[in-house]
Amino acid sequence: MFNFRSILKILQFLKLLIFLIFENLILLVFPPHKKTFAGEIVLITSSANGIGRQIALNFAPLGATLVLWDIDDEGNKETSRLAQKNGAKIVFVYHCDCSNREEVYEQADKVRKEVGDVTILINNAGMLLGEKFCDLSDADFEKMLRVNFFSQVWTCKAFLPAMMTCNRGHLVSIASAAGLLGAYRMSGYAGSKYATIGMMEALDSELYHAGKQGIKTTIICPYFINTKLSKGFQTQNHLLLPVYDAEYVANKIMDAIQKEKFYLIMPLSIRFFPFKIFLPRKMVLLFESYINITNSMDKAFGRKKKD
């Protein structure tokens, strides 16, 4: 039987729940002021092209110090040049293979010594091989996990302690819609993105219950974007599941960071993916057939050609 104390706890919980619902409704009508970035130290992984470069260009005129990590030195230098042309005053460029734990920690030490403590960490490094599960080699599977998931583990471990000390910072994780719905030829990629989303949700929970609400978390879950990562991907329904340009997605990511959103899920249709657990599995598979997901990866960049 419920005792009086249990009933009181339930009533208190419901009271807070109703308050939070109204708070969110009010914020929809009267959004909070966007945060500013003057004086922030922003580190972006995989910044030599695509979304990483576009995010850097968005930060450039806002007064932040940019720290660019990539294995493509020439591309990264070009991002630095474009960022400075776009208004960035201070840009640091580092060669870093984010799939290598020792290199991540080594470069993180250099950043702390040469630049300072990172206050906004944007984990953007990614790798996609659109192969069926049995065709994907163990080495490639492991590499996707290192690039897509473990790189974010290592960078968060490297830079989060300083954020916790001053209870201030922002962790931004570029995940994927594939982390919400595992699909055809996406076992390795989806597995790494599911892991990333789960880790970031758990990390946000840890920070909240440790009283570190000054550290914000934003998880980005877009559908495919027109970058080198997914070159050749063909959507079968442009209205329902469009392939976005990197510049458009970067603008949306910046808006999510400024508004301190926890999730950015795009397009709108992707927001229904988490409700798959309430649907019969055949309905999910029927949806995949409707959007012809089995043919979408036929010409995608990174696929190994078969005889």
Residue 189 known to be catalytic? yes
The tokens for 219 are 């998880």
List 94, 105, 184, 189, catalytic entry: 189
- Sign of the dihedral defined by the CA atoms of residues 187, 246, 70, 150, in that order: negative
**Other beta carbons less than 10 A from residue 212's beta carbon:** 18
Closest CA to 143 of 77, 71, 198, 210: 71
**Which residues touch 226 (CB under 8 Å, ≥6 apart)?**
243, 244, 245, 246
* C-alpha radius of gyration, the chain, whole number: 21
Q: Determine the longest span between alpha carbons in the chain, in angstroms.
A: 71
Q: How many CA atoms lie within 13 A of 51 on its CB side?
A: 29
Strand partners, 222: 266
Residues taking part in catalysis? 189
